[in-house]
Chain A
Amino acid sequence: MESLSNIWHLGVKELRSLWQDKVLMVFVLLAFTLMIYTAGSAGSMELHNAPIAVVDEDNTVLSGRVINSLQQPWFLPPDIVRYDQIDELLDQGSHTFALVIPEGFERRVRQGQQVSLQLNIDATRMSQAFIGTNYVERFVITEVAEFLQPGSSGMDLPVTLVSRASFNPNLDGTWFGGVMELITQVTLISIILTGAALIREREHGTVEHLMVMPLRPFEIMASKVWANGLVVLLVASMSITLVIQGWLNVPIAGSVWLFLLGALIHLFSTTAIGILIGTVARTMPQFGLLLILTILPLQLLSGGITPRESMPELVQNIMLAAPTTHFVSMAQAILYRGAGIEVVWPQMLALIVIGGVFFSLALVLFRRHLSV
């Protein structure tokens, strides 16, 4: 009972201190509004405005129709270039694709001969290169079929493939970018706030002051966890309703409340990580370096930016211990696929276990840190 009251009062103090640090508050707000809007509106990794150049050696109706078929939003309007310019364009990286339509293209198609078009691809642009190649192929084939036999849809196949993208039918990147940025910021800001709160206490000598009072390390730590977690949860819920649903117009498939519950459990781990780093670091620059060392792998390897299944087995297994992995997979399931608690409970359970482990570890280190 006394313990609970201590945690409560220390936490309120934490909130008051945070409120006074206006610069930090402004950045927290920016992170959860403008940054999310920017990430969401920038489009994402699906094919979008891919730059393509075309060498038209045929100059016929058909070649013109093929060029016109490469259109926005998938491709930027094609630039017509000379054959000898291709190398330069690809070298400079101004174009990802260069399509060559050979002389006699239309004539040979009319004669029923097989024609091949050369497509040069900058393969260093992995995702755009791969997806774009499929698109170019599809557009060219459809255009030729349409030319030969108006109304035909392309290839005449014995088995038709009816494909649909679930949960995001148009594979719209805005949906992805904004929500993933929110997930990123929840992790980043909660670690920074908690860790900084601890370092600030140490730099101002108030930790020592707390230690001569009848308080347990657990109470000091728990108060930081709940107060900073609460702040992040509040701005995150504001961000998801106002910025993501309101400003970016992203449809949320599942329950926002369920997502926030998940975020709450996730914050338990990340705030503990903040304490952990804050305990190890002696000064703010050291905190900064350790933060980078922690936050980059946590985010980049969580499956939020590139798919998990393509990472090496070892990395995948190690990352099972990271809260972000489970949080990302849970958030994607809830927000994009409308999953309910009956689907995401394993991730929630994992987050609780991981949070418990991190919290205990942080508590052990924090105790040792205080006793020196």
Chain B
Amino acid sequence: MTETVARLDGISHRYGETSALSDIALEFPAGCMVGLIGPDGVGKSTLLGLIAGARALQRGSLQVLGGDMASQRFRNQVAPRIAYMPQGLGGNLYHALTVHENIGFFADLFGLTGASRREQIDRLLDATGLLEFRDRPAGKLSGGMKQKLGLCCALIHNPDLLILDEPTTGVDPLSRRRFWDLIDTIRQQSGGMSVLVATAYMEEAERYDWLVAMDAGQVLATGSPSDLRRETGTDNLDDAFIALLPESRQAREPGTTAANRSQGAGQPSEQGPGTLAIEAHNLTLKFGSFTAVKDVSFDIPRGEIFGFLGSNGCGKTTTMKMLTGLLTPTDGEVRLFGEPLNAKDLATRRKVGYMSQSFSLYGELTVRQNLELHARLFHLPEAGITDRIRTLSREFDLEDVLDQRSGALPLGVRQRLSLAVAVVHEPELLILDEPTSGVDPGARNRFWQLLMRLSRQDGVTIFISTHFMNEGERCDRISLMHAGEVLACDSPERLAAQTGTGSLEGAFMKTLEAVDKEPKTRADDSVLNAGKEHSGRHKPFSVRRLWAYGRREARELLRDPIRMAFAFIGSALLMLILGYGITLDVEDLSFAVLDRDQTPQSRDYVNAFAGSRYFLEQPPIHRMDALEQRMRSGELSLAIEIPSGFGKDLKRGRNTEVAVWVDGAMPFRGETILGYVQGLHISYLGELAQRTLGETPTLSLVALEDRYRYNQDFRSLDAMVPAVIPILLIFIPAILMALGIVREKELGSITNLYVTPVTRLEFLLGKQLPYIAFSMVSYVSLVLLAVYVFDVPVKGGLLTLTLGALLFVTATTALGQVMSTFASTQIAALAATAILTILPTVQFSGLTEPVSSLSGAGALIGPFWPATWFLQISRGVFTKGLSLADMQGAFLALAAFIPVLTLMAVVLLRKQGR
């Protein structure tokens, strides 16, 4: 243990105002199993993230495997030697991908090829017992299996340093034991591998070689488990840890396990026979063909603490949801307090407090606001609310954090808040789904003391599920569940006695192992390849890694039916709507006449309008104020007033005036109407002269000979359809691309960018490829629609158009990538991309008026917006029949967006977390 795997000096880390680590100096010995222990939120994850290179170093110096982690060059080189498994079940896995595809993806990132790739994957799958599940999507694995898969992905490249952040949190005891056995096997075989683990399970920590006890961002002590026990004079790590805490904190930690276990062993307060809180009879729930819960029955008397133990995914949560009415059983009956459960009955809900597996309060509200909200929703008398909150915050030790945002609190504190919220209305029954997963021992102990008091003093019935055996021992009765069925149900002592194992843990293992055989492995084979394959040099650009990301993204895309359907149907549907809907033909305008003359001549004049296809005559106007009124309501777009004496004046050749009012609210429509009116007016006069004088007078010496180019019929569709294609090819690709990247940030798989050898450019280009392909499919469907449904022919070369489209969607997806770098949540990415792409595309890209006519901000943005150039290409090919050579400028401009946007995305994307 003379060598060190990591050397930390003066490391500090802050998240905004909060300090996570302060001035840490440590040397981790190489070649052994090092554990980080301590309560939640003391900086364990941050420390591991820094060592793995997933978080950017803020202060201090950090040497890992003999190099400086502050240097990007060294990180690139060392990445293949470090493996990192972040916190949470399967945080860095891709849930839509199968087990095999997940491992394959990591194998590609680390450059494994050919036979060694295949062999390595098979060995790992075999060793973890995942071989028979190789084609199951990762999202459908149980928690324990997800963790094993995560481990496979981490071990694929034979790392020298394995970093595991709480790998067994939320995993059942049997899977947990198998997980550590596997790690032991691997370490024996690999010899030199160092392992760094953070854990909340002290009993696991007993197996480690060297421990670092942490609290409040600082190191309390280091040494082997026996060293720590000896130094503190305690006989177990739980107590040792508490003894290590500063005096001020110790006072608040109640004595632990041994002392308390007996204290909690009292019997539930007797309330007389026949007072059952929960009766479940033959509960069965099927999801399609899958039976999640099968024929489960139990009776729970009032005031009892009933524990629910079982492997991951065995149906515990589903059963609990049936008890709360969140799920309706396929078969069987639930009775609460003697009454059949009615999900719609609000009165029963008042008697029940429920705490779901994950934190499900409002993280953006403060602790006090959360408590107040729930007190009010349960209609506690307004006067008593302040008192109730004071009492609760004291009981649950929340006084110091009352005005902090609950989402920012450590897990243990959040769980206490959840429990406080669940009991705010003093329910008679509490249903708690794994309330202590991920909570450190001290906090868990306090939590159980609260439960005990609620049960023993207030007679509250508690139904609780847990993975901790020492918690199970504190329950009055236990039910062991596996694969949807209850295997045993009795008091912990009797269960231990029945199985002859003497402990609840033994009883659990024995009962479960009887039905769940250890996966068979080829014991003779080593788990890892003997030969190390680190080339030592980091290739700055690797097509293989790029391709790994591309293929993975494509698979996810192909497996999302909504996104796929959208590629084919959605964009076509939008094109139909827009093509038929946006028309610039101004027709069927309603007009009415205020005819003060009422002569054949005035009638004749009106007919000139009524006969035109542009205007539709409405009932005549009789008074001036009616004219205003009807214009105002928008009923009339045009009003004509013919003065009295119009006919007489016309016959005598005296000059007369006709007044027209045009609705100018929509300026372009107003202009168009004015144009029509003038044209009709002149043609009426011409006809009049023809009829009376027999000749058409020369009204002016000049005439304009209009030549409408490209669109002789002046058909709106011919102009609009080529313009709709660019609109659709910018919105959809940009939004999908942005969401595709931000999604990784939100779900946590972005870590793979941080800690694997993939570069930012490979990551971006790889993810971009499937979206380009996807957009080109949309493009084809749009062109087909244009030609066959809208009857708009492509006058120029289809190849030219396709090349333009390819450049365009590459640019628009790159635009989505740039947008994604600003957003950290999907909703923000969606809103930002939607808002920022719609306006410039519709207004500034020349859709309705050429870019050269724009002024103000539009004139500035127009030329720097890719849609401007593709619109020109699309119109050029569709309506003008132009060739590539004719539009060189537009093509070059469009192509220039690609490197610029990609470069922006690469620069703005971070290769490390904060």
Contact = CB atoms under 8 A, between A and B. Distances in A.
Interface of A: 2, 5-6, 9-10, 13, 16-17, 20-21, 23-24, 27, 30-31, 35, 37-39, 41-51, 76, 90-94, 96, 109, 112-131, 133-134, 136-138, 140-141, 144-145, 148, 154-169, 171-173, 175-177, 181, 188, 192, 196, 199-200, 204-206, 208-209, 211-216, 281-282, 284-289, 291-293, 295-297, 300-301, 305-307, 309-312, 315, 329, 332-333, 336-339, 343-344, 371
Interface stretch (B153-161, B518-526, B706-714): B706-714
A38 B839 contact: yes
B326 interface: yes
Interface stretch (B61-69, B531-539, B667-675): B667-675
Contacts of B799: none
Given A23-B828, A118-B705, A310 B377 contact: no
Given A292-B731, A311-B580, A200 B827 contact: yes
Nearest to B832: A27
Contacts of B361: 206, 209
Contacts of A305: 582, 842
A156 to B, nearest CB: 8
A166 B657 CA distance: 18
A112 B872 contact: no
A3 to B, nearest CB: 10
Contact of A176 (B325, B659, B665, B708): B665
B631 A163 contact: no
A157 B363 CA distance: 76
Contact of B667 (A176, A208, A296): A176
A130 B324 CA distance: 67
A42 B842 CA distance: 12
B584 A291 contact: no
B830 A309 contact: no
Contacts of B824: 23
Nearest to A372: B327
Contact of A44 (B631, B668, B698, B852): B668
Nearest to B324: A212
B258 interface: no
Contact of A310 (B379, B586, B843): B586
A286 B707 contact: no
Interface stretch (B104-112, B176-184, B345-353): B345-353
B834 A42 contact: no
B835 A284 contact: no
Contact of A127 (B343, B672, B682, B736): B672
Interface in B604-662: 605, 629, 631-634, 637, 650, 653, 655-662
A121 B671 contact: no
A290 to B, nearest CB: 8
Given A96-B850, A158-B656, A20 B889 contact: no
B662 A20 contact: no
Contact of B852 (A30, A76, A192, A307): A76
A114 B711 contact: no
A119 B810 CA distance: 39
A121 B658 contact: no
Contact of A141 (B350, B588, B702, B876): B702
A289 B566 contact: yes
A121 B657 contact: no
B524 to A, nearest CB: 45
Contacts of A164: 659-662
Nearest to B853: A49
A109 to B, nearest CB: 5
Interface in B835-891: 835, 839, 842-844, 846, 848-850, 852-859, 872, 875-876, 879-880, 882, 886-887, 889
Contacts of A339: 632-634
Given A76-B852, A161-B677, A293-B570, A120 B707 contact: yes
A356 B346 CA distance: 26
Given A122-B710, A315-B581, A332-B666, A131 B671 contact: yes
B588 A293 contact: no
Contacts of A166: 631, 661-664
Given A43-B855, A124-B879, A168-B670, A296 B574 contact: yes
B718 interface: yes
Contact of B872 (A5, A93, A336): A93
B405 interface: yes
A307 B669 contact: yes
A336 B876 CA distance: 37
A180 to B, nearest CB: 9
B362 interface: yes
Contact of A337 (B631, B699, B719, B854): B631
B702 A121 contact: no
Interface residues of B, number: 148
Contacts of A192: 827, 830-831, 834
A279 B852 CA distance: 44
B839 A124 contact: no
Contact of B830 (A21, A140, A287, A293): A287
B29 to A, nearest CB: 41
A293 B714 contact: no
A16 B364 contact: yes
Given A23-B828, A122-B709, A166-B663, A310 B835 contact: no
Interface in B439-492: none
Contacts of A214: 346-347, 349-350, 377-379
B711 A211 contact: no
A306 B703 CA distance: 31
B378 to A, nearest CB: 7
Nearest to A180: B666
Contacts of A311: 580-581, 583
B297 interface: no
Contact of B675 (A27, A126, A131, A329): A131
Given A38-B858, A167-B663, A114 B852 contact: no
Contacts of B681: 159, 161
A24 B831 CA distance: 8
A76 B827 contact: no
Given A120-B707, A205-B356, A213-B377, A130 B672 contact: yes
Nearest to A287: B830
Contact of A145 (B588, B700, B720): B700
B707 A17 contact: no
A115 B698 CA distance: 11
A21 B882 CA distance: 49
A129 B853 contact: no
A337 B632 contact: yes
A333 B857 CA distance: 28
A131 B685 contact: no
A220 to B, nearest CB: 10
Contacts of B570: 289, 292-293
Given A128-B849, A307-B669, 4 more contacts: A93-B850, A124-B722, A306-B581, A336-B665
Interface string B668-698: 1111101101110110010010000000001
B591 to A, nearest CB: 11
Contacts of A138: 678
Contacts of A10: 373, 377
Interface string B224-242: 0000000000000000000
A188 B377 contact: no
Given A6-B377, A124-B711, A163 B677 contact: yes
Interface string B559-583: 0101100100010011001101111
Given A125-B719, A309-B590, A159 B849 contact: no
